[in-house]
Amino acid sequence: MTTGHNGRKETLIKEFLTELGEDPKREGLLKTPDRVAKMYEFLTKGYQQDIDEVMNGAVFEEKYSEMVIVKDIDFFSLCEHHLIPFFGKCHIAYIPNGRIVGLSKMPRIVEVFARRLQVQERMTQQIADTLYQYLKPMGVAVVMEAQHLCMIMRGVEKLNSIATTSAMLGAFRNDVKTRSEFLTLINSKS
């Protein structure tokens, strides 16, 4: 019998607790199945989000053609291999080609892809591809730096390891000077 709105998920979590050797009827675990089900719904809400709705007409015609950077976008995601969190910072740049996007849309795009079961490499590419598709810019660059709890809590157990991934499209891929400028700017402390 389930009590919350997450019936099937709660049942599965109760079964999982039992398989771990726990008693899901003990006081400390009574509400755990409902809490865990709600948590996973929140952590995977990106599956219910549509990029068209997130962009919501926030692409504007503008004759600006210098690099636009939003750096240090915090993100939290779940490793699809272990269902353990990974988290860090995302840095995004693009060079407009007559179209710009509202700056708040970049963190929202990151959030949509972060709130799914992920690997960092794919998420990095998805963010870059999305911006490239909507803006048709001269170039897009995305760098993600993350700590993976699957590496920290289990496996190699390396506390301070950081995984860095990048996706470079257009001018960022083809022009070393443009790529270097972006990397220098995201590494500056200002």
| CATH code of domain 57-187 | 3.30.1130.10
Contact 88, 75 (CB under 8 A): yes
Helix (H, G, I), strand (E, B) or coil at 126: helix
Q: Which residues contact 187 (CB under 8 A, 6 or more apart)?
A: none
* d(C-alpha 62, C-alpha 164), whole Å: 32
93 and 53 in contact (C-beta within 8 Å)?
no
Strands 117-118, 68-79: pairing is parallel
Taking only the tens place, the pLDDT of each residue in 26-63 is 999 999 999 999 999 999 999 999 999 999 889 999 99
Tokens found for residue 118:
């992920």
What amino acid positions are annotated as catalytic residues? 79-82, 120, 148, 150
7-43 folds as GTP Cyclohydrolase I; Chain A, domain 1 (1.10.286)
Print burial letters for 18-30: b (CB count within 10 Å at least 16), e (below 16).
Answer: eeeeeebeeeeee
pTM of the model: 0.92
What pLDDT was estimated at residue 5? Answer: 61
pLDDT attached to residue 113: 98
pLDDT at 146: 97
Listed range (48-52, 82-86, 154-158) with the worst mean pLDDT: 154-158
pLDDT band at 3 (very low <50, low <70, confident <90, very high): very low
pLDDT, greater one: 7 or 189: 7
Structural domain boundaries in the chain: 7-43, 57-187
Predicted local confidence at residue 1, as pLDDT: 39
